A and B are shown apart, each in its own frame.
Chain A
């Protein structure tokens, strides 16, 4: 990330300037396209150079697809693929007479793809304006102009004492402030062994320790709510239905590391998230739980809620920091780590939303109570969510260590309508694919890693016996190639080539594919290029006969 641009942004932020991305998003919302005049205005208001603003305007999905008065976005996430094999995409396209990314000549209707809307429990999903409809009949309703907001199920907790699925009550922050010993709270978070819930599983306490030790005029807490994993709607629920718990976790993190401000970046694919977080923050300010001198403790902390603009890789922490500052959401090499140079060049903690939501319980109830939630496994509580192929799809709060069989059969009720489970993709698009024969694998970091899979963020997408595994490879690599940020060469070119291998009807040369997967795994700058080979490797290992490989 350019140091010069970050410094420019910091200085303009001090003067109350908006980010370039905010100005461009507003222009898009206003008139459905970005003009050079919009870019000039964005440059002037944000203080960024015109060329930089132009680069931003060409990066994000939300800024590049022209919008008609009726903007239709069809979900091409993996749960929707598992539900229809992408038939719903073709139906919407044909019904509207528009290609993806096209706007009708009269400016009335436009169509774009979006990944994913977080309605995976009711796939397929289609968004019209800010109304998200899903489930049987969705395509017909959208084509008839009678779309309605799809209902979302309430979560179920399997824990004797729910942690994430009860409304946040700020007891954790009160306890931490009463104790008034940030170092001790830090030691508790470390002892509780909170592993990051966003995918990488990095110990949260370590990040806090680095940022606490770093020197900076200001420090920041960033909640990563860019839950881009197709098939996941965990952070969506937390941000929309339990936002106070997240804000409390952020305030505790701020108290520990000495930060006075936090940012939440929530996805634009979740139109309800920012309003819910803004409302919760306003409520907390009124109650004296955010703002100056919280509860008379002398500790001050406030938050800014930012909406993204459509980019999967922005979920990577350095890309997230770039996006928060209104720049292109591309990955930066580390060092410097965010704990040294983050938002505005200041020490910054970046934690996933669910990770931060685990913290209030530790602060209020203590380390032992937290570790007892998942006996003999990774400590703490975990949310998992199931896609529409299951009989009881939805969000569940579970301990670590249950087997995938218990989760899929006992908790989610097996598949619908007598379908047979063929495979699971766990933890997002960068996770391996577990064949149904391996359902006795425990849901935990090491056990899943041994099968080439991962906990990831906790989305569980089941595929039934009708799934065409070559089509699944094509689906995943289409996602991988179109979401590559374009920074590192292996991912930028390699995922395009991998997608081309499966997009054509030609046989796939297995050796060339495996060489390419190695280049991606070992050469990529971030987990996007590095992780996309994992599901392809699983498909090669378990379903080689279904992939249309060239006969050697």
Chain B
């Protein structure tokens, strides 16, 4: 076992465990956007940054494995500053704020990043509703890779891919001919994991027109 402390609390975990899993085992909350526990860690969103004593800068909790004697601070001010800044950047690429029921909106609320100060380019509206009940709204895609990995690692269908690069990165079903003409088996794993509503089940879209009421629980 590997012994470490997280926010002052000691914990023993199996070697190879990530900081994120260790912290969650202790009940600590570390916000994430590209993480889905059913998938291999991806390390793209950089919202799970934490402070680690002796490290030159904050480290991503999802892809950093624990080491013996590690001292982790999930509330490290530098790490939190970076995470907040990243979420503000994410909000800046969307043409509209995320719907309040989405994971992205929840993370933004949790970090108290209510708005973005960044002007500039946003993703262009591009809706694909050719499938009877899977809708793809490209402008809401934040390239977290969760849908692509769900289709690969969970479903084994490989109907989705990341596309483009840089700010123009996005996703496509098949050869961008939409879900129905792709290898998609309509399992819905992509819609289930999507943190922004870029992929949704049409019935949910119909039932929940924008804006949703905000429910605080």
Binds B, one of A176-184, A269-277, A515-523: A515-523
Given contacts A333-B41, A333-B42, contact A51 B166 (CB under 8 A): no
B174 near A54: Cβ-Cβ < 8 Å = yes
The reply on A11 being an interface residue by CB < 8 A is no
Binds B, one of A101-109, A440-448, A481-489: A481-489
Please, how many angstroms separate the alpha-carbon atoms of A53 and B161 in the complex? 8
Chain B residues within an 8 Å CB radius of A50: 174-175, 182-183
The reply on B153 being an interface residue by CB < 8 A is yes
Chain B residues within an 8 Å CB radius of A483: 165-166
Given contacts A50-B182, A51-B158, A522-B58, contact A492 B86 (CB under 8 A): no
Binds A, one of B6-14, B115-123, B209-217: B115-123
Q: How many residue-residue contacts, CB under 8 A, span A and B?
A: 158
Please, how many angstroms separate the alpha-carbon atoms of A4 and B152 in the complex? 7
Q: Give A273-330 interface residues, CB cut-off 8 Å to B.
A: 311, 328, 330
Chain A residues within an 8 Å CB radius of B160: 51
> A447 to nearest B CB, angstroms?
19
> B195 to nearest A CB, angstroms?
12
The reply on B54 being an interface residue by CB < 8 A is no
> A345 to nearest B CB, angstroms?
13
> A154 to nearest B CB, angstroms?
37
Binds A, one of B88-96, B125-133, B198-206: B88-96
> B14 to nearest A CB, angstroms?
15
- A contact residues, range: 35 or more
- Measured CB to CB, the nearest residue on chain B to A529 is B46
Binds B, one of A76-84, A157-165, A403-411, A494-502: A494-502
Indicate which residue in B93, B156, B167, B175 contacts A39 across the interface (CB closer than 8 Å).
B175
**How many interface residues does B have (CB within 8 Å)?**
56
B120 near A500: Cβ-Cβ < 8 Å = yes
- Bits for B50-75, please: 1 = Cβ < 8 Å to A, else 0: 00000001101001010000000000
- Measured CB to CB, the nearest residue on chain B to A512 is B117
Q: Give A399-417 interface residues, CB cut-off 8 Å to B.
A: none
B142 near A489: Cβ-Cβ < 8 Å = yes
Given contacts A54-B176, A522-B57, contact A481 B167 (CB under 8 A): yes
Please, how many angstroms separate the alpha-carbon atoms of A489 and B158 in the complex? 23
Indicate which residue in A55, A311, A488, A489 contacts B163 across the interface (CB closer than 8 Å).
A55
Chain B residues within an 8 Å CB radius of A338: none
Q: Give B106-161 interface residues, CB cut-off 8 Å to A.
A: 117-121, 142-143, 145, 149, 152-153, 156, 158-161
The reply on B78 being an interface residue by CB < 8 A is yes
A494 near B152: Cβ-Cβ < 8 Å = no
- Bits for A1-15, please: 1 = Cβ < 8 Å to B, else 0: 011110000000000
- Measured CB to CB, the nearest residue on chain A to B167 is A496
Please, how many angstroms separate the alpha-carbon atoms of A481 and B177 in the complex? 28
Please, how many angstroms separate the alpha-carbon atoms of A408 and B162 in the complex? 44
Chain B residues within an 8 Å CB radius of A468: none
- Measured CB to CB, the nearest residue on chain A to B43 is A333
Q: Give A449-491 interface residues, CB cut-off 8 Å to B.
A: 481-490
Chain A residues within an 8 Å CB radius of B194: none
- Measured CB to CB, the nearest residue on chain A to B63 is A333
Chain B residues within an 8 Å CB radius of A516: 85
A489 near B89: Cβ-Cβ < 8 Å = yes
Indicate which residue in A335, A489, A512 contacts B65 across the interface (CB closer than 8 Å).
A335
Chain A residues within an 8 Å CB radius of B119: 500
> A173 to nearest B CB, angstroms?
37
Chain B residues within an 8 Å CB radius of A49: 158-159, 161, 183
> B173 to nearest A CB, angstroms?
7
Given contacts A50-B175, A54-B172, A54-B174, contact A493 B164 (CB under 8 A): no
Chain B residues within an 8 Å CB radius of A515: 85
Shortest Cβ-Cβ A-B pairs, 3 listed? A333-B43, A486-B169, A55-B161
Given contacts A4-B158, A51-B159, 19 further A-B contacts (CB under 8 A): A3-B153, A4-B156, A5-B158, A36-B175, A40-B175, A51-B173, A330-B162, A333-B41, A333-B60, A486-B164, A487-B143, A489-B33, A489-B86, A490-B82, A492-B167, A496-B166, A497-B118, A518-B81, A523-B85
A interface with B by C-beta (< 8 Å): 2-5, 36, 39-40, 49-55, 58-59, 311, 328, 330, 332-335, 481-490, 492-497, 500, 512, 515-516, 518-519, 521-525
User: Can you name 28 A-B pairs with beta carbons within 8 Å?
Assistant: A2-B152, A4-B153, A5-B152, A49-B183, A50-B175, A51-B182, A55-B161, A59-B164, A332-B43, A333-B60, A334-B63, A483-B165, A483-B166, A484-B165, A486-B143, A486-B167, A488-B43, A489-B90, A492-B143, A492-B166, A496-B166, A497-B92, A497-B120, A500-B120, A519-B89, A522-B82, A523-B49, A525-B43
